[in-house]
Chain A
């Protein structure tokens, strides 16, 4: 792992950051919606939590400057152009204000959760995954004004597409999502988040998987030079459940994804496949955490990153296997492509293994494009830069082709590699 050069924020910058939160809270709290009480609690906690700084291990490589450059106010995005919806999927547009279910008839197996039940359930998965106090989660809690909460029964044949576009406006777009999968329920969900301006998309998804339930989850997030993304995906899994998360993010001034998974009694299957890209002066960050709280759990994790220009890629993959989690089988692989001398890649597995009868494989590679692969393509008449492009696309496709079918109209590869308008 490569050492970072730590810059000490000046007192003035620290004060400015503190006042950023204060200004945001002044602009974002209040209101009498269903989330008012929990928003108030989160606001208090946020006011008392110092802004993450690079002296904190979890933020050591991730400079928050692009975030505090965002205007501390709530954003009301205007709807942007979208591709056609893929067959078999239902698109819900999230703008942080209006009800995404207005005028929508939900497919069989999905129903909204509201009232007391919502209040009782919201935040439980965050607590179970140790995510409630994370700064991005507090920030989301202190600002989100509505929540899309759905219960899932049986097999839902329709893919749920949850789409936001922060657009070119300034400010914060907080999005809150809750999915409760009853035992044996099955659902496919795709999140798509976009931005083209100096704003922050803050998204928190809580998903609870009952026994034998299955959630196939995709997240595609492509940003803009000045846009920020803080995405938390908290998943609590009962025995026999299967969670498969495929994510791709890039193009953000600061893009950070935090998948937080717990198998509360073990004996479940978790898969994480991720691709992140950092070009220009962008920061792409993933901090994942997998906790096994019972025996016989499985994790398959592949994390891929590409760093070009002066981009910086950060991956920290925590896997916790306490004594009671015997016979856990976990594999984590981090594969990184370094495309420029000025780009940086920091990758670190963080294994806490107490149980003795476990299989935990992990590995990390950082490489450049293979000379022999480039030459092979060139020897077929393909110019060096086009050959490099093909190899880069090949590297990315391994993850992107695992996204739900519904991602196809969004052209993930072209979008992330900036080969089209945003």
Chain B
């Protein structure tokens, strides 16, 4: 839902970042207001996951320029855990397996960290059990998954459901969902997308990274961005995704080549 007067939650300006010595993000700008759903699409390797990890604060990526303001504050100066407590959520493209750490305990500790960030009191084990059982229904997940180690031995689709369960518990203000739809069967896609729709509201925002229109059939984006070679090359409405579905990414090369020429003409 686009409301021009809605508060800006996330404002990315000319963001550049590298991993080791390789520049990957080459100037990303993006503004997300409360209530909006944004989709980021783009070829493999174009930098979508890098953007999501830089936002979440992964230590392997070094920001080399630009700014990110989250709720008016400098996001990049915050430790990853403080970003999460302030309501930024990253749904991982590849959720990490953590042997020996019980999923239930993990979810409880994470939920209480977020609650502390919101100034709410911690939930004891019993109150948390009630909450988690309620939120399990959002993703129609079997409570048996709570007893297992975090993501360990989960199938691809089960891991993605576990991500959305975490989102349901943490109630983020800005959720960045990196290919949450990949690896899901048709029913699971509907369930997960239903969960995302259920959690989206006028006061929060969602950034969906996806390759497929089928997700955007269920979750209608307000904006679609096409990422290429570490930049946002084009931004449009939901019809841009349909156009991509039809035309593919070949046009990207021509536009990129034009972009590369620009500095030479200037200089």
Contacts and interface: CB of A to CB of B under 8 A. Distances in A.
Given A371-B59, A376-B92, A390-B106, A381 B85 contact: yes
Nearest to B95: A376
Interface in B88-132: 90, 92, 95-96, 98-101, 105-106, 109-110, 113-114, 117
A395 interface: yes
B100 A371 contact: no
A384 to B, nearest CB: 7
A373 B98 contact: yes
A381 B90 CA distance: 11
A378 B79 contact: yes
Contacts of B95: 376
A357 interface: no
Contact of B106 (A371, A380, A384): A380
Given A394-B149, A395-B100, A380 B59 contact: no
Contact of A379 (B60, B90, B99, B100): B90
Given A382-B81, A390-B109, A377 B100 contact: no
A59 interface: no
Nearest to A372: B96
B214 interface: no
A41 interface: no
A394 B81 contact: no
Interface in A270-293: none
Interface residues of A, number: 23
Interface string B54-96: 0011111000000000000000000111011100001010011
A391 B101 CA distance: 7
Contact of B114 (A378, A381, A391): A381
Chain B interface extent, by class: 20 to 34
B113 A381 contact: yes
Given A381-B85, A381-B117, A394 B80 contact: no
A47 B182 CA distance: 71
A122 B83 CA distance: 64
Given A371-B60, A375-B59, A375-B80, A382 B109 contact: yes
Interface string A379-416: 11111101100110111111000000000000000000
A382 B79 contact: no
Nearest to B92: A376
A22 B17 CA distance: 69
Given A390-B106, A394-B149, A377 B98 contact: yes
A398 B99 contact: yes
B263 to A, nearest CB: 35
A379 B110 CA distance: 9
Nearest to A375: B58
Interface core residue of A373, A377, A387, A397 (most chain B CB under 10 Å): A377
B83 to A, nearest CB: 8
Contact of A380 (B99, B110, B149): B110
A391 B95 CA distance: 16
Contacts of B90: 379
Contacts of A397: 100
Among B58, B79, B117: residue with most chain A CB under 10 A: B58
B113 A398 contact: no
Contacts of A394: 98-101, 149
Contacts of A381: 81, 84-85, 110, 113-114, 117, 170
A382 B101 contact: no
Given A375-B58, A380-B110, A381-B114, A393 B100 contact: yes
Contacts of A391: 98, 100-101
A380 B113 contact: yes
4 shortest A-B CB distances, which residue pairs? Answer: A394-B100, A381-B113, A380-B110, A381-B84
Interface of A: 371-373, 375-384, 386-387, 390-391, 393-398
